[in-house]
Amino acid sequence: MSQQVLVLPGDGIGPEITAEAVKVLEACRDQLGLDITLDEGLVGGAGYDAHGEPLPAQTLDKARAADAILLGAVGGPQWDKLPDLSKRPEKGLLGLRSNLKLFGNLRPAMLYPQLASASTLKPEVVSGLDIMIVRELTGGIYFGQPRGIRTLENGEREGFNTYVYTESEIRRIAKVAFEMARKRDKRVCSVDKANVLEVTILWREIMEEVAKDYPDVELTHMYVDNAAMQLVRAPKQFDVMVTGNMFGDILSDAAAMLTGSIGMLPSASLDEQGKGMYEPCHGSAPDIAGLGMANPLATILSAAMMLRYSLDQGDTAKRIEQAVSEVLDEGLRTADIMSEGMTKVSTSQMGDAVVQAL
Amino acid sequence: MSQQVLVLPGDGIGPEITAEAVKVLEACRDQLGLDITLDEGLVGGAGYDAHGEPLPAQTLDKARAADAILLGAVGGPQWDKLPDLSKRPEKGLLGLRSNLKLFGNLRPAMLYPQLASASTLKPEVVSGLDIMIVRELTGGIYFGQPRGIRTLENGEREGFNTYVYTESEIRRIAKVAFEMARKRDKRVCSVDKANVLEVTILWREIMEEVAKDYPDVELTHMYVDNAAMQLVRAPKQFDVMVTGNMFGDILSDAAAMLTGSIGMLPSASLDEQGKGMYEPCHGSAPDIAGLGMANPLATILSAAMMLRYSLDQGDTAKRIEQAVSEVLDEGLRTADIMSEGMTKVSTSQMGDAVVQAL
Ligand SMILES: CC(C)[C@H](C(=O)O)[C@@H](O)C(=O)O
Ligand SMILES: CC(C)[C@H](C(=O)O)[C@@H](O)C(=O)O
């Protein structure tokens, strides 16, 4: 039976970049015999504009039914002023993550040799960089209760959120990190703030506990402030980094930017059965939306990740990744990764080139 | 009347580096007529070892009585396993901050031209870098209640902390940032996660409100994940960055590391009257403690900051800063900033050289 893929273009450059990934998936279907069926849905600002909800019920239903989801990006200035936080585009994304229980977020930060010069860091500091950040995605302060803004007795307002993790939430993300490390350099660095925050004292304790089941994997701990420093100072020291939702949000973006080409980086968000949502690491870039300038490669590589992790099509995934590498070798570049002597191409030209190279 | 300075060496390299700053302050007293009296106290692991408390009562009394405080650093592996978080060295530091109401943390990240090559970033990305991070230091998730680890009905444990800010806490740190910007490039970038966290929605709102009193200063907002990226991508875009305690901890360390010479960076923590505690941005570096290798310049520059902000001795502060610049010009370097062709010196040789250059 054909595997069902739901495509959620979202906002900003989302529709442009997912269109290119769809091109590539269709080429795999038509030319390589990949047996998938593609459907589309609205999410984020697009969902709000059409149905008054960033995560319309029909989208959630489709997402539940699908075998895997490919997402563009959500958000834009036109929705930033919505007084009701629950209507903002980001809530569509957060709603998908939590409703589908996509707790395991994989964010690779790797440097493409062809794009080494795009990094703001010195070549010797980043060449060969290959970090896998494992971020917990359905817990922590993003979802903790109670939360809100209340008025105190003295009349002034107070904003509050709750940073919370249970043992089992920590245990299952720990396992994802250790399993991942086994397939890589067998080192996990767990990032916390255990010198200040109780929730991360528990985090550290459970990491130690799970580590006992993985004697072949080395576990170290690092405070989040130090981790942010070490990413700048000597990023190649890391193999797998595991951390909570908020710290992971910050550190994975910093790590991605070390490569200088965040337009190249895919991500996966997985549930306990390996079903997942795949999306580029970058955002919806409303400033360049509709201009045909966006780099579709992170989304195309997200589609490849989807084939590998959720659809068990590792060979086709590899072909897509090789095709991407080839177009880079040919010197094709979208504006974000353009450099002297290369050939500047548009979003759709880049997608076409990948299809060509397949 | 003589101004009272309390020196708190703390742990690790703390005693070595504060000793050099004391040398410099004594030279200013003996040779330049600076009218100060120096006293010492125990804090952190040193306080715990001597009195069973990371912030002994006598230290807090002395700190309250002093006009300004110069701190080395706290923490070390021998206290990391203390089961009672309230006894850990870090609680000494946090206790000083909160008891003395030192809510305004100033963390400059600037590149010394003499040390430009120490940065892991390309010279064009960081040359001339000069960011002032204003971090709220006595609120947010560091101090929020409730907090702890509890056992749920199903028998598993849950760790929790509370991220909380009131309007007045936000307002007073906003003012520090805007006042600071007025003395600089008149730009404030407020960092939050207002697309997810209610507490930072209030943060953003109050920033906007305070901005009305500073029409000459430009206010922008940035999400914390993007801020972490932008610090790596194009750090020179920032003038003053203002943020809460936790985000400030992470971003200020990342920003400091951009310079490649965190051993050079001082910091100030001020109360509403301008009384303050001054300390280097770096930590207690237990691995090199006692080896005479540590760089004392961040602590010496913290002493200069102390003279400027709390003791109204701007001229003497400037002389110290010039002396530091001179020893760098002479090519003297501690191990952390050593590069080819320079002269490697020990902690105390560096202190002596600064005294010499005064
Ligand atoms: C859009 C936003 C809610 C989201 C997050 O903070 O998780 C994004 O920054 C990400 O990292 O996927
Ligand atoms: C030692 C620790 C509690 C402290 C903090 O997190 O505030 C330190 O990292 C700092 O930034 O001064």
* One-letter identity of residue B213: D
**Are B2 and B109 contained in the same domain?**
yes
Q: Range of A300's domain?
A: 1-110+262-358
Residue B330 within any structural domain of the chain: yes
Question: Would you state the pLDDT for residue B248?
Answer: 98
Asked if the Cβ–Cβ distance from A262 to B229 is below 8 Å, we say yes
| B86 CA from centroid of ligand 2 (Å) | 15
**Are A66 and A174 contained in the same domain?**
no
Residue A261: pLDDT band by 50, 70, 90 thresholds?
A: confident
What is the rounded distance in angstroms from the CA atom of residue A196 to the CA atom of residue B90? 8
Q: What residues of A are in contact with residue B193 (Cβ under 8 Å)?
A: 246, 249
Instruction: Output the domain CATH number for residue B163.
Output: 3.40.50
Residue A116 within any structural domain of the chain: no
Query: Å from B60 to nearest chain A CA?
Result: 20
* pLDDT 10s digits, A223-234: 999 999 999 999
Residue A80 has pLDDT above 90, yes or no: no
Residue B124 within any structural domain of the chain: no
Q: What residues of B are in contact with residue A232 (Cβ under 8 Å)?
A: 120-121, 232, 254, 257-258
Residue A83 has pLDDT above 90, yes or no: no
**Are B58 and B145 contained in the same domain?**
no
Residues in contact with A246: Cβ distance below 8 Å, sequence separation at least 6, in sequence order: A140, A141, A142, A163, B193
Q: Does A304 touch chain B (CB under 8 A)?
A: no
The string of DSSP codes covering B8-47 is EEESTTHHHHHHHHHHHHHHHHHHH---EEEEE---THHH
The string of DSSP codes covering B255-283 is HHHHTT-GGG-EEEEE-TTS-EEEEESS-
**Are B136 and B236 contained in the same domain?**
yes
**Are B270 and B340 contained in the same domain?**
yes
Query: Å from A73 to nearest chain B CA?
Result: 14
Q: What residues of A are in contact with residue B120 (Cβ under 8 Å)?
A: 121-122, 125, 232-234
* One-letter identity of residue B350: M
Asked if the Cβ–Cβ distance from B149 to A198 is below 8 Å, we say yes
**Are B76 and B148 contained in the same domain?**
no
What is the rounded distance in angstroms from the CA atom of residue A234 to the CA atom of residue A195? 23
Final residue belonging to a domain, choices A219, A242, A258? A258
Element (DSSP H or E) covering residue B319: helix B314-329
Mutual orientation of helices B14-32 and B347-357 as an angle, nearest 10°? 20
Q: Does B320 touch chain A (CB under 8 A)?
A: no
Structural domain count, chain A: 2
Q: What residues of B are in contact with residue A253 (Cβ under 8 Å)?
A: 225-226, 228-229
Asked if the Cβ–Cβ distance from B162 to A161 is below 8 Å, we say yes
Q: How far is CA B54 from the centre of its chain?
A: 19
* pLDDT 10s digits, A181-194: 999 999 999 999 99
Asked if the Cβ–Cβ distance from B149 to A254 is below 8 Å, we say no
Smallest-distance ligand from the CA of A11: 1
Of the candidates A142, A149, A164, the beta carbon closest to that of B158 is on: A164
**Residue from B11, B23, B67, B142 carrying the catalytic annotation:** B142
Of the candidates B152, B166, B233, the beta carbon closest to that of A120 is on: B233
Q: Which atom of ligand 1 is nearest to the CA of B225?
A: 9
Smallest-distance ligand from the CA of B280: 2
Instruction: Name the DSSP letter for residue B307.
Output: H
Inter-CA distances, B32 with B315, B318, B355, Å: 10, 13, 11
In chain B, what is the straight-line distance between the N-terminal and C-terminal CA atoms, in Å? 24
What is the rounded distance in angstroms from the CA atom of residue A98 to the CA atom of residue A176? 17
Tell me which residue has its CA closest to atom 3 in ligand 1. A90
Q: Give yes or no for a cis peptide into A83 (omega within 30° of 0).
A: no
Question: Would you state the pLDDT for residue B354?
Answer: 98
Q: Are B208 and B164 in contact (CB under 8 A)?
A: no
Question: Would you state the pLDDT for residue B82?
Answer: 84
Of the candidates B149, B162, B256, the beta carbon closest to that of A201 is on: B149
Q: Does A171 touch chain B (CB under 8 A)?
A: no
Q: How far is CA A77 from the centre of its chain?
A: 21
- Strands B240-243, B130-136: pairing kind: parallel
**Are A83 and A157 contained in the same domain?**
no
Q: Are A11 and A284 in contact (CB under 8 A)?
A: yes
**In degrees rounded to 5, what are phi and psi of residue B224?**
-60, -35
* pLDDT 10s digits, A95-145: 999 999 999 999 999 999 899 889 999 999 999 999 999 999 999 999 999
Please give the interface size between A and B, counted as residue pairs whose CB atoms are below 8 Å apart.
Answer: 183
Tell me which residue has its CA closest to atom 1 in ligand 2. B90
Q: What residues of A are in contact with residue B122 (Cβ under 8 Å)?
A: 120-122
Sign of the dihedral defined by the CA atoms of residues B231, B236, B238, B239, in that order: positive
Question: Would you state the pLDDT for residue A1?
Answer: 78
Final residue belonging to a domain, choices A241, A258, A275? A258
CA nearest B72: which of B224, B256, B324, B283? B283
| A105 CA from centroid of ligand 1 (Å) | 11
| A344 CA from centroid of ligand 2 (Å) | 46
Asked if the Cβ–Cβ distance from A147 to B198 is below 8 Å, we say yes
Query: Å from B271 to nearest chain A CA?
Result: 21
Tell me which residue has its CA closest to atom 6 in ligand 2. B249
Burial group, residue B40, by CB count within 10 angstroms (0-12, 13-18, 19+): middle
**Are B67 and B137 contained in the same domain?**
no
Final residue belonging to a domain, choices B242, B277, B302? B242
Mutate to test the pocket of ligand 1, among B193, B195, B223 (most ligand atoms within 8 A of CB): B195
Surface of A (143-162) touching B: CB under 8 A: 144, 147-149, 152, 156-162
Assign 3-state DSSP to chain B and report helix, strand, coil percentages, each to 5: 50, 20, 30
Tell me which residue has its CA closest to atom 8 in ligand 1. A249
**Are A249 and A351 contained in the same domain?**
no
Give the 3-state secondary structure of residue B88: coil
CA nearest B103: which of B33, B23, B39, B175? B175
Residue B122 falls in the annotated catalytic set: no
CA nearest B217: which of B247, B249, B244, B180? B180
Q: What residues of B are in contact with residue A158 (Cβ under 8 Å)?
A: 164-167, 202
Query: Å from A306 to nearest chain B CA?
Result: 24
Residue A85 has pLDDT above 90, yes or no: no
**Are A96 and A1 contained in the same domain?**
yes
Mean pLDDT of A61-86: 93
Whether residue A293 is annotated as binding a ligand: the answer is yes
* pLDDT 10s digits, B274-311: 899 999 999 999 999 999 999 999 999 999 999 999 99
Residue A145 within any structural domain of the chain: yes
**In degrees rounded to 5, what are phi and psi of residue B189?**
-110, 115
Using CB distances shorter than 6 Å, the residues near ligand 1 are A 75, 90, 93-94, 249; B 195-196, 225
Q: Are A214 and B242 in contact (CB under 8 A)?
A: no
Question: Would you state the pLDDT for residue B81?
Answer: 82
Instruction: Output the domain CATH number for residue B58.
Output: 3.40.718.10
**Residue from A112, A142, A165, A309 carrying the catalytic annotation:** A142
Cα angle A249, A255, A257; round to 5: 105
Tokens 């710290």 correspond to A247
**Residue from B193, B239, B309, B336 carrying the catalytic annotation:** B193
Residue B247 within any structural domain of the chain: no
Q: Does A287 touch chain B (CB under 8 A)?
A: no
What is the rounded distance in angstroms from the CA atom of residue B69 to the CA atom of residue B25? 13
CB count, 10 Å around CB of B141? 27
Residue A117 within any structural domain of the chain: no
Sign of the dihedral defined by the CA atoms of residues A119, A126, A324, A36, in that order: negative
**Are A85 and A5 contained in the same domain?**
yes
Residue A286 within any structural domain of the chain: yes
Token pair for B234 = 């194009």
Smallest-distance ligand from the CA of B245: 2
The string of DSSP codes covering A292-328 is T-S--HHHHHHHHHHHHHTS--HHHHHHHHHHHHHHH
Whether residue B291 is annotated as binding a ligand: the answer is yes
In chain A, what is the straight-line distance between the N-terminal and C-terminal CA atoms, in Å? 24
CA nearest B34: which of B3, B77, B58? B3
Token pair for B6 = 């309390």
Give the predicted TM-score (pTM) of the model.
Answer: 0.95
What letters, b where the CB count within 10 A reaches 16 and e where it falls short, cover B261-286?
A: bbbbbbbbbbbeeebbbbbbbbbbbb
Tell me which residue has its CA closest to atom 2 in ligand 2. B90
**Are B168 and B233 contained in the same domain?**
yes
Instruction: Name the DSSP letter for residue A281.
Output: S
Q: Are B126 and B116 in contact (CB under 8 A)?
A: yes
Tell me which residue has its CA closest to atom 4 in ligand 1. A90
Q: Are B68 and B306 in contact (CB under 8 A)?
A: yes
Which residues of chain B register pLDDT less than 50?
none
Residue A249 falls in the annotated catalytic set: yes
Residue B71 within any structural domain of the chain: yes
Tokens 């009193």 correspond to B213
